[in-house]
Structure 1
Amino acid sequence: MTIDDIKSIIATDETRILELKKTTGDLKDGMHTACAFLNTDGGWLIIGVPPESLKIVGQQVTDSTRQKIANALAGLEPAIDVKVEYIDVPEHPGNQVIAMHFDPWVWGHVPYTCNGRPYYKVESTTKVMPRDMYDERLRQSKPQYFAWERQEADGITIADLDENRIRGAIRLGAEGGRLNGTAMTEPIETLLQKSELLNDGKLNNAAVMLFTKKLRGYPQLRLRMARFRGTGKNEFGDNQQAEGNFFDLLDSGMSFLFKHLNLSGKIVGLHRIEQLEIPVEALRETLVNSLCHRRYDQPGSSVGIAIYDDRVEIENPGILPPELTPETIKQPHNSHPYNPLIANFLYRSTFLESWGSGVRRIIDSCAAAGVEEPTWQINPNFVWVTFKRPSDKSSYTKESTTTTQKNEVLGGSSSENDLTTTQKENNLGGSSSPIDTNWGSSSSDDISLTKQFQKLMDVMNYEFMSIAEIMVACQLKNKERFRENYITPALNEGLIERKYPDQPKHPYQRFRLTEKAMHLKYSQTTEEQ
């Protein structure tokens, strides 16, 4: 390093990454700044340049000076290896400028302290690091000791877990190629051990969050859901809370969104496709991320969904990694999961993607639907995502699906009040006729459509299910007749959809309700209430 390098560094005056000191008499404050550099964005500490004048004066450097600097650096913990540069000052023979560069803090590294106290930078000011920031960085540096998800479960045993949820998640992972197929037949205990959810026969909190049926002692396993009238929180249209594991809360949250958001219709080819006003993929990804990445060490807080006339907000008690801001989160970035164990299991079971791609998929799905991309906001305790609802409602179905719309979907009349009793019976299949087991185009089959689809609607939702799972839930056994009388007509009516639409005979084919059917299912709940 030369004197010209020093001139170049100090040309911008003191900044977030530059601290100037007149002499080593200011070394104590200088080490506080060095600690702050190590905990923030790094920077230069230069001694021999008064910050008031920015003149390169330097100072005399003796063995005592070097020893003093070495002792001061020893007060930084963890210990660091810093190269101390001594540069001659031509204008002041015998004097030298002392320069030290400190690397920036890296996510996951233990926070640095100076003589036992942590410091960090706020713009160009050095401050003592707040306790909660220090604790959070300490937790991230040693998750095996401090992370909530790795702590031993409180009074929860394997018998308290939902085996069906575990088996279902493992099956999805195997079908998605992220787990070995043999995992589908392994004992539950083995599966939990391999996923680091069970250690020495004891479950950890990650296992509880994912699969528990027993909620006592875990108040944070809750989801708040509200539909507000207008654009503020003055009047509730609907106010609910759900409790349960990750999968229970995901189901409850998506059901609430389907219940209160509108459908839009567009013509694709010869068919009218019904879609939610905000893309389901974007809402689901946001809710999955909120449940996965929230801070579970705050038992009094919970994930929330708030629906207003003009927007939808999904919030979680969490923080963004230091590398990200509400603006940069939309740019390509690495994955920094707050709960790595939980995130890894959800990735392996295909509920979550890795490589920090979730935000990109949210934005892309909104763009594909012609919907404005969401915004991210943070405060010290929460991260929330806001989706604007489309202002043009002319092409949307109202939140509470009308009787007319339901009759159209289920095969009934659009003007029932104007019909005679005989006409009503004909439209509904005839009150005196036996219930047909086939769905057809004739009016006598319309009641079959209603009853059979109602059965599918009762047991299915927006998560994919196999034929076998749907049949068990419907308490039916004849697979051939089930396909003929339930699956095929529902597909033709656009009420269910395939996971692999271009490969009807895919070995892992599964089915779920369409957005149109989901909206119908939960708007029925609205009217019943």
Structure 2
Amino acid sequence: MTLEELKKLISKDETKNIELKKSTGELREGMHTACAFLNSDGGVLVFGVTPSLSIVGQIVSESTRRDIAQALAGIEPAVTPVIEYVDIPDKDNHQVIVLRFNPWVYGNDPYTFHGRPYYRLESVTKAMPRDMFDARIRINMPHKYSWEMRVAEGYSIKDLDVSTIRGVVRLGVEEKRIPVGSLNESIKVILKKWNLLDGDNLRNAAVFLFSKRFSYDYEIRMARFRGTDKNYFIDNQQAHGNFFELLDAGMSFFFKHLSLSGEIKGFKREEHLDVPATALREALINALCHRDYDIHQCSIGIAIYDDRIEIESPGLLPRELTPKTIKRSHKSYPRNEIVATVLYQITYLEKWGSGIKRIMDACKAENSPQPFWSEEGGYTVVTFPMNKLNGRIVTPNEPQNVTQNVTQNVTQNDIPRAEKVEQVVVENSMISKDDLAKRFNVSSKTILRDLKKLGYAWEGASKNGRWVKKEPTSTNW
């Protein structure tokens, strides 16, 4: 570096990436800044420039060089910055010392100086907050510190829904994603193969996926608002449970507040929600699978307005993606890799990295507006604009006349209800007739009659069977 280059470097005074010190008498404070540069966007540490930007330099002896080396040895992990010595022509034997530090690389260990981490906030060096340090440790060692890998205290295999595990294993076998031999394996062996056990202890991922114990840890907030803001709500619910229970609750809420319309194509009647059910289901699965479960006192939210649907999930997008680039073809960056792997094997997730495209393709296939993604207050939000709500054209900012019991407006006879029942069964073939009866406020016999007309029959045991479609017994409604 030449003297002119040095003058140009310091001309803007101290910035986020430049720190000026009068001499190595401030070496220890300089190392705090060096550590901060390494934990931030990198930077240049200069010794020999006063706060008034006067270039004074200093005499650099072998002792000075040793002091710098010893100070740098206090930084962990070890670092070897580029060090330059710039001569000052009008001062004999005086030099300015310039040290260049690289930026922090995502996924690397955080740097510390004598055991303490620092980071750069604008032109100020600050001690790194504990939550930031812990987050970087988890990023560096995800298989050891991630939420899904940690032991679920107070839980055992007895707390898991065995019938659900058996049922989803069968789904994976049918789609050839799980070996046939898994059908006869013990629950413990299955959990070990899915990496859901730490020795004999359940991991958090196992509890989230299959627990049958009530817990406030996993929740979905659901609201139907009148108009286009949150001033007035028509329906407000919360659901708690495992992955499958939350998915079922969310989809039920959609079916309750979105109308089912139909059109005849050829000899076939095609049914559609105001927003494609497959797109909503995929978005909700993504929210459940990829949310940041280390963010406490937050939960996934579903909000239905007169002109849009929003699904919000705690946690921001991966660093490799932005709200603008997420619609492009991209690799998969699962935050919860174990959960994502299990959901793929049991057919609830398709090929990694394809979820966003599947959502957009589903909307395009039904001529629905394309969704968009955003990051708001620590949440990732997917928004589905709506052309219609309950069969009516949506005019922006014009509230629709919607009553709380929306299903009464669209279930004037058995036909719409039966079709809605079928939609629910398609989304969750393992749902019981009693749960369907509660959802539609009818008797179990009525549900069985509807499903019989649609050609559905229950196959398997009462706890781990499923609805299978056969030929309908009658087409006379």
Query: Scaled by the length of structure 1, what TM-score is found?
Result: 0.69
CA contact (8 A) 1:375 1:387 kept: no
**Superposition pairs of residues 61-80 of structure 1, within 5 angstroms:** 61-77=60-76, 79-80=77-78
Which residue of 454, 459, 469 corresponds with 2:450? 454
Give 1:42's aligned residue: 42
Q: Distance in 2 between matches of 1:196 and 1:68?
A: 49
Q: Does 1:483 align with 2:470?
A: yes
Give 1:389's aligned residue: 386
Q: Which moved more, 1:148-157 or 1:192-201?
A: 148-157
Shift of residue 408 of structure 1? 5.5
Shift of residue 190 of structure 1? 0.9
Which residue of 288, 292, 298 corresponds with 1:291? 288
Q: Distance in 2 between matches of 1:69 and 1:355?
A: 48
CA contact (8 A) 1:84 1:98 kept: no
Shift of residue 409 of structure 1? 4.8
Q: Which moved more, 1:250-259 or 1:275-284?
A: 275-284
Give 2:302's aligned residue: 305
Give 1:161's aligned residue: 160
Shift of residue 244 of structure 1? 1.5
Q: Distance in 2 between matches of 1:121 and 1:213?
A: 46
Q: Distance in 1 between matches of 2:160 and 2:138?
A: 27
Q: Distance in 2 between matches of 1:247 and 1:182?
A: 24
**Superposition pairs of residues 163-202 of structure 1, within 5 angstroms:** 163-202=162-201
Which amino acid in the other structure matches residue 290 of structure 2? Answer: H
Q: Does 1:400 align with 2:399?
A: no
Which amino acid in the other structure matches residue 115 of structure 1? Answer: H
Q: Distance in 2 between matches of 1:473 and 1:319?
A: 38
Q: Distance in 2 between matches of 1:46 and 1:126?
A: 15
Give 2:270's aligned residue: 273
CA contact (8 A) 2:21 2:50 kept: yes
Superposed CA deviations along residues 102-126 of structure 1, whole A, max 9, x for unmatched, are: 3333333332223333222334443
Over the aligned positions, Cα root-mean-square deviation in angstroms equals 4.2
Aligned length: 439
Which amino acid in the other structure matches residue 206 of structure 1? Answer: A
Give 2:432's aligned residue: none
Superposed CA deviations along residues 214-269 of structure 1, whole A, max 9, x for unmatched, are: 22xx3212222221223343433122222211111111111111211244656756
Q: What runs of 5+ residues in structure 2 fail to find an aligned partner?
A: 395-399, 419-445
Shift of residue 407 of structure 1? 5.4
Which amino acid in the other structure matches residue 390 of structure 1? Answer: N
- Distance change in 2, residues 1:409/1:289 (3 Å): closer
CA contact (8 A) 1:265 1:395 kept: no
- Distance change in 2, residues 1:25/1:167 (3 Å): same
Q: Secondary structure at the match of 1:314?
A: strand
Superposed CA deviations along residues 350-374 of structure 1, whole A, max 9, x for unmatched, are: 3235655544544554455441422
Give 2:101's aligned residue: 102
Superposed CA deviations along residues 28-83 of structure 1, whole A, max 9, x for unmatched, are: 34322322222223333344456754x87654322122122222222323x22313
Which amino acid in the other structure matches residue 275 of structure 1? Answer: H
Shift of residue 336 of structure 1? 4.1
CA contact (8 A) 1:20 1:45 kept: yes
- Distance change in 2, residues 1:109/1:91 (3 Å): same
Give 2:371's aligned residue: 373
Give 1:508's aligned residue: none
Which residue of 82, 85, 94 corresponds with 1:84? 82
Q: Distance in 2 between matches of 1:457 and 1:298?
A: 46
Q: Does 1:254 align with 2:251?
A: yes
- Distance change in 2, residues 1:8/1:246 (3 Å): farther
Q: Distance in 1 between matches of 2:136 and 2:272?
A: 42
Q: Report the identity percentage.
A: 48
Q: What runs of 5+ residues in structure 1 fail to find an aligned partner?
A: 412-449, 461-466, 494-529
Q: Distance in 2 between matches of 1:4 and 1:364?
A: 57
Q: Which moved more, 1:57-66 or 1:67-76?
A: 57-66
Q: Distance in 1 between matches of 2:185 and 2:461?
A: 24
Superposed CA deviations along residues 418-472 of structure 1, whole A, max 9, x for unmatched, are: xxxxxxxxxxxxxxxxxxxxxxxxxxxxxxxx87662369998xxxxxx774897
Give 1:28's aligned residue: 28
- Distance change in 2, residues 1:44/1:285 (3 Å): farther
Q: Distance in 1 between matches of 2:264 and 2:308?
A: 26
- Distance change in 2, residues 1:90/1:229 (3 Å): same
Which amino acid in the other structure matches residue 407 of structure 2? Answer: S
Q: Distance in 1 between matches of 2:355 and 2:332?
A: 9
Give 1:498's aligned residue: none
CA contact (8 A) 2:371 2:382 kept: no
CA contact (8 A) 1:220 1:301 kept: no
CA contact (8 A) 1:294 1:316 kept: yes
Which amino acid in the other structure matches residue 31 of structure 1? Answer: M
Q: Does 1:126 align with 2:114?
A: no
Q: Distance in 1 between matches of 2:31 and 2:453?
A: 66
Q: Distance in 1 between matches of 2:204 and 2:257?
A: 33
- Distance change in 2, residues 1:6/1:359 (3 Å): farther
Q: Distance in 2 between matches of 1:265 and 1:281?
A: 16
Superposed CA deviations along residues 160-203 of structure 1, whole A, max 9, x for unmatched, are: 21223222333333444443343333222111011111232222
Q: Distance in 1 between matches of 2:11 and 2:109?
A: 32
Superposed CA deviations along residues 484-526 of structure 1, whole A, max 9, x for unmatched, are: 335xx78x99xxxxxxxxxxxxxxxxxxxxxxxxxxxxxxxxx
Give 2:345's aligned residue: 348
Q: Distance in 2 between matches of 1:7 and 1:64?
A: 27
Q: Distance in 2 between matches of 1:485 and 1:144?
A: 50
Superposed CA deviations along residues 360-407 of structure 1, whole A, max 9, x for unmatched, are: 544554455441422322325x44333333368646898536467645
Superposed CA deviations along residues 138-169 of structure 1, whole A, max 9, x for unmatched, are: 33334455433333333332232122322233
Q: Which moved more, 1:64-73 or 1:385-394?
A: 385-394
CA contact (8 A) 2:167 2:464 kept: no
CA contact (8 A) 1:219 1:299 kept: no
Q: Distance in 2 between matches of 1:27 and 1:353?
A: 55
CA contact (8 A) 1:88 1:94 kept: no
Q: Secondary structure at the match of 1:109?
A: coil
Shift of residue 7 of structure 1? 7.3
